[in-house]
Structure formats: structure tokens, C-alpha cells
A and B are shown apart, each in its own frame.
Chain A
Amino acid sequence: EAGVAQSPRYKIIEKRQSVAFWCNPISGHATLYWYQQILGQGPKLLIQFQNNGVVDDSQLPKDRFSAERLKGVDSTLKIQPAKLEDSAVYLCASSLAHWGAGDTEAFFGQGTRLTVV
């Protein structure tokens, strides 16, 4: 079974520039998550999709971050304009997440390491 694919693996941009990350979840997984992991911290949820609808984006800085999941499969996360504090690893995860116990296992991609200079 193929895992969660993310690209690019690394990105360096200057502050105020824009950047986009791409994620392809595991086939058949309805739920897709974007997490931000700042160095030395645990991942923090930015946005959660159920198919192509947003379930939770309460911690997404909407003035600069946007995300979409077209056709309920691939997803892109965009930052515009970037700030220095956006330097982090952006992790995409997916899960079956059916409504019931035991289906919340999330599988993570390798992440995109963003450095804003």
C-alpha cells in the first residue's frame, strides 16, 4: 500500500513570498489533515478535510494560509505572504476516519520542510 505522498521535501523562500505544498493521501482515505510542526514541538493541526469539505480549520491563520482539496483526493496548502515564524515542517496525514471507534489512525507523509529567510 502506497503511503501519503508530499512534495516538495524542502523549500527555502524569502519572507513575503508565497509557497504551495502538495499532498496525495492514501487511496480511499476520506479524511485529510495538514499539520504544522515547529522545531522542538509536536505537530499542530491546521486544517482537516472530510472528503472535499472542511471539518476543522480553527487553527489555520486564514489571513495568510489557505488550503483546498479538490475532488476529495489531493490537497494543496498555500502560504501567502510567508513570515519568518512559518518556518516549520508541514505534515500531511490521512485516515479512513469512519464514524466509529478505532478508525482514527492517521498515516503521515514525510513532510515538507519550509525555511523562511
Chain B
Amino acid sequence: QKEVEQDPGPLSVPEGAIVSLNCTYSNSAFQYFMWYRQYSRKGPELLMYTYSSGNKEDGRFTAQVDKSSKYISLFIRDSQPSDSATYLCAMSRPGGGTSYGKLTFGQGTILTVHP
């Protein structure tokens, strides 16, 4: 079983739709949860960063973490064609040692928003 599971999609939605992207994980040691956006032929760029459980909102984007269910989500409101990209969830563990800063990624979900 992979530590982080993400539905690869692809997901195609009309402009203006609400998009829901999800990841599940198995390692309860993960404390930091991130969403990266990756455009074609580019490196991933950090979109949202959440520590432990709860919600975080940034403009049209909302990240949710449910540690009891080991489940994280990213919601995109009023989706735009410019949101078309691959969305990667990533997680890391706190503290020192070799695990510090190491990101474990999901497979990525390909999103297309059409006009």
C-alpha cells in the first residue's frame, strides 16, 4: 500500500465549477499537508500549506485536513481555464532526523477547466 493515495483523474469541468481534489494517507506521523500545482513541463509550485487538522482558505482555494480519517481535500471555487494543471498532494513529518523536510507525494490529479 502506498503511503499517499490520490485519484489520478483526469478531471474535466466547465469554467465556474467547484472542484474537489482528494488524497488519503496511511502514515499517522504526517503532520504537514501541502497542495502543489504543476503546469505542463514546469516544476511543482506550492499552492496551500496546512499544519495538522482543520481548514485553510486562500482566495478561491480551500484546503481541508481530517487527521482522524487520514483524508485531505482541496476545493477550488469558480474554477478558471488557468487552473488547468496537475494537482499534487504532499505530506511531511515533523521533528528532526532523516524524515525532516522529506515530502511524500500523491500521484497527482490532472485537471482541465474548459471555457
Contact = CB atoms under 8 A, between A and B. Distances in A.
Interface of A: 4, 31, 33, 40-45, 48, 55-56, 58, 91, 93, 95, 97, 99, 101-102, 104-111, 113
Contact of B101 (A40, A58, A91, A97): A97
Interface of B: 4, 6, 8, 32, 34, 36, 41-46, 49, 51, 88, 90, 92, 94, 96, 98-108
12 contacts: A40-B8, A43-B103, A48-B98, A91-B44, A99-B96, A101-B94, A102-B51, A104-B100, A104-B101, A106-B103, A111-B43, A113-B41
Nearest to A91: B43
A42 B106 contact: yes
Contact of B92 (A4, A55, A99, A104): A104
Contacts of B92: 104
Contacts of B96: 99
Contacts of A56: 98-99, 102
Given A41-B108, A110-B41, 7 more contacts: A40-B107, A42-B88, A42-B108, A99-B96, A105-B34, A106-B103, A111-B43
Contacts of B108: 40-42
Contacts of A48: 98, 101-102
Contact of A55 (B45, B94, B98, B104): B98
A107 B4 CA distance: 20
> Chain A at the B interface: mostly helix, strand, loop or mixed?
loop
Given A41-B107, A42-B108, A102-B51, A108 B98 contact: no
A102 B94 CA distance: 9
A97 to B, nearest CB: 4
Contacts of B107: 40-42
A95 B101 contact: yes
A4 B43 contact: yes
A108 B45 contact: yes
B101 A44 contact: no
